[in-house]
Structure 1
């Protein structure tokens, strides 16, 4: 049985993960961490990482970037792997994650959906073929409570395209007040509204035709399933490294 410590257990995604875990007979959420504990949950909830005194195999974080330092401190103390599912990390925080992954196994993905990561893998193959004759634009849509913009997933897709082509690309966020489009631009556009779970469209616009690659998350459960699969994977690794969804998918 894989014992999970869930940080952010009382948040929206925390609740989805708890429900999804019922379909993973080899996973047991043994405790949670949340500043605003919900006494209706069946496991013990700590309000601070400093109070954690329970044995666990993997720490799963679905909270906010501000929790990173405490998560890493606890993981280093216990020499346990951590799965970081938050988005909106600063460059300094990403550097910290990279540094600490040399000491303990860490997992980070801008999107925990298996489908999004398969789409990302596909972009590595098609972007080098299409970029010379097609303009590239990314549109992401999320609910009106999402804090970071553009989404971590949109940046993940843009970075994959940028790293796959032979020109120095320039990210353009929106087009208000801009002149005509330059060839090296990758447009990134954010929409916020209602309860949209998460839609991402990558558009290759050519002369006389348009190719679109899209992913639409119909439920937060897709992120929970991906996170729990990451827990299964990370429970079996011992080598310090920064892992991601490519390691799980074998791509």
Structure 2
């Protein structure tokens, strides 16, 4: 597999190392100190892996629109308009896009889908996420994704933090912690009468996201146009 790698920060360097260790090739790297644009890559490639910045999305999707190249979009922090553009691009090109490329988080979602219909009538549900003190957005995109898994039909109010007096309603509480160098922790708590079930995922390094992005790229090569996520990569081959 030949890859066009967009972004060469910490994640880009990790992905480069892992790609080469698996016997894949890198056709070119686009970053501030490398190639300036994907159009500058002269060697052919099979797939694009983007781990850069939302500002690069427009030019990448313009390239994909012309060439129909498969693309794995691992960048986060997109606006709603940019997410809509990604979905539009997937009408003509194969795209993997998700809020979290961790294999463990993907499996966690599958577990939540299985057990939530069984527990939701008699258990309260809460989501807690923890990240390092440099993370800007709260709650995390992954926390929002987990809440969507718990509440696909929107029947629960989504309460972001709590303050003051008030009786619990039909709701899911979402809580964000920021501190130190925590890479990423996400917990879903089902609290019932006299028992508590907690489903928890901890990321101990950014390598887990690189592993998922590479697995997604391997999956995407040769696939028809469409919007895929990590559930497709792991469970719907």
* Contact 1:136–1:205 (Cα < 8 Å) also in 2: yes
Instruction: Report whether the alignment pairs 1:191 with 2:177.
Output: yes
For 2:43 and 2:157, the matched residues in 1 are separated by 47
Instruction: Report whether the alignment pairs 1:161 with 2:160.
Output: no
SS at match of 2:151: helix
2:227 alignment partner in structure 1: 242
For 1:16 and 1:98, the matched residues in 2 are separated by 27
* Contact 2:133–2:181 (Cα < 8 Å) also in 1: yes
**RMSD after superposition:** 1.6
Matches within 5 A, 1:115-130: 115-130=104-119
2:28 alignment partner in structure 1: 31
Instruction: Report whether the alignment pairs 1:74 with 2:63.
Output: yes
Matches within 5 A, 1:1-251: 2-9=1-8, 11-25=9-23, 27-35=24-32, 37=33, 45-163=34-152, 168-177=155-164, 179-183=166-170, 185-237=171-223, 239-251=224-236
- In the TM superposition, residue 49 of structure 1 has moved relative to its aligned partner by 3.5
Unaligned runs of 5+ residues in structure 2 are none
- In the TM superposition, residue 178 of structure 1 has moved relative to its aligned partner by 5.8
TM-score (norm 2): 0.93
Moved over 6 A (4+): none
SS at match of 2:43: coil
